[in-house]
């Protein structure tokens, strides 16, 4: 029983001892009219100071559970009051447990938000790094016999002026021609790679395949 008391760290030691004594009274281990420990005996049993034992007895006395008279020791006065005290204690423990659960939940949420914030920061940093390495997303379009400007060069059709796009490569016969220049003709079977200012290939599609 003493070890059980020591485990209750949320309340002062003298109250822990008062709860222990009240529990024994409520369970019928101590009967009304019985005389129990004097202050010094209670202090010795629970390994506390005489002052701590005195305060425990005062709590029980104030609640009408025991009566304490100098020279007469401590006498059990009311089992009903002891049971009421235990009920109040259990309610308090329940409230304290709920409060602790809420605080722990808040702590977990705070930790999760910090982790989320760190993850978002890492994602943003990675995205910026990727953007710095590859600032443009190229589009591609196939040159077919239906292409309006087939067999004409890029400068001749004023490709940039009409589309706002820049040709960065042409794939022809399995070979990739990077930065082909303005005078390379568009031939059937070419794959045109280009970047745009508005991140949309639609103007190029409309221009070449009207």
In this prediction, residue 135 carries a pLDDT of: 59
User: How large is the average pLDDT for residues 126-143?
Assistant: 72
Of 4-8, 48-52, 61-65, the least confident: 4-8
Do the Cβ atoms of 71 and 36 come closer than 8 Å? no
In this prediction, residue 155 carries a pLDDT of: 92
SS3 of 31, please?
A: coil
pLDDT category, 204, cuts 50, 70, 90? very high
Most confident of 61-70, 89-98, 99-108: 61-70
What is the number of alpha carbons within 13 Å of residue 140 lying toward its C-beta? 9
In this prediction, residue 152 carries a pLDDT of: 92
pLDDT category, 5, cuts 50, 70, 90? very low
Do the Cβ atoms of 45 and 13 come closer than 8 Å? no
Single pTM value for the model: 0.43
Do the Cβ atoms of 24 and 65 come closer than 8 Å? no
Q: Is the pLDDT of residue 132 over 70?
A: no
Question: Counting Cβ atoms within 10 Å, is residue 174 exposed (0-12), middle (13-18) or buried (19+)?
Answer: exposed
In this prediction, residue 4 carries a pLDDT of: 42
Across the chain, mean pLDDT equals 83
Of 5-14, 96-105, 184-193, the least confident: 5-14
Please count the other Cβ atoms lying within 10 Å of the Cβ belonging to residue 43.
19
In this prediction, residue 118 carries a pLDDT of: 82
In this prediction, residue 207 carries a pLDDT of: 92
- pLDDT tens profile 81-99: 999 998 888 888 777 777 8
Q: Which domains does the chain have, with CATH numbers?
A: 2-93 (1.10.10.10), 139-208 (3.30.70.1450)
């Amino acid at each position: 029983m003493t070890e059980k008391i020591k485990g209750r760290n949320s309340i002062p030691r003298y109250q822990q001892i008062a709860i222990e004594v009240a529990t024994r009274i409520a369970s019928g281990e101590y009967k009304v009219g019985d005389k129990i420990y004097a202050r010094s005996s209670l202090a010795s049993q629970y390994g506390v100071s005489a002052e701590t034992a005195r305060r425990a007895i005062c709590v029980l006395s104030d609640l009408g559970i025991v009566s304490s008279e100098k020279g007469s020791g401590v006498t059990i006065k009311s089992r009903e009051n002891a049971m009421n005290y235990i009920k109040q204690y259990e309610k308090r423990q329940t409230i304290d447990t709920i409060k602790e659960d809420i605080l722990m939940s808040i702590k977990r949420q705070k930790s999760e938000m910090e982790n989320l914030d760190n993850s978002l920061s890492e994602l943003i940093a990675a995205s910026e790094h990727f953007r710095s390495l590859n600032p443009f997303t190229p589009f591609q379009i196939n040159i077919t016999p239906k292409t309006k400007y087939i067999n004409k060069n890029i400068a001749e059709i004023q490709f940039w002026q009409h589309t706002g796009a820049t040709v960065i490569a042409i794939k022809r016969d399995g070979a990739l021609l990077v930065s082909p220049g303005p005078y390379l003709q568009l031939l059937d079977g070419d794959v045109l790679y280009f970047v745009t200012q508005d991140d949309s290939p639609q103007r190029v599609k409309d221009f070449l395949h009207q």
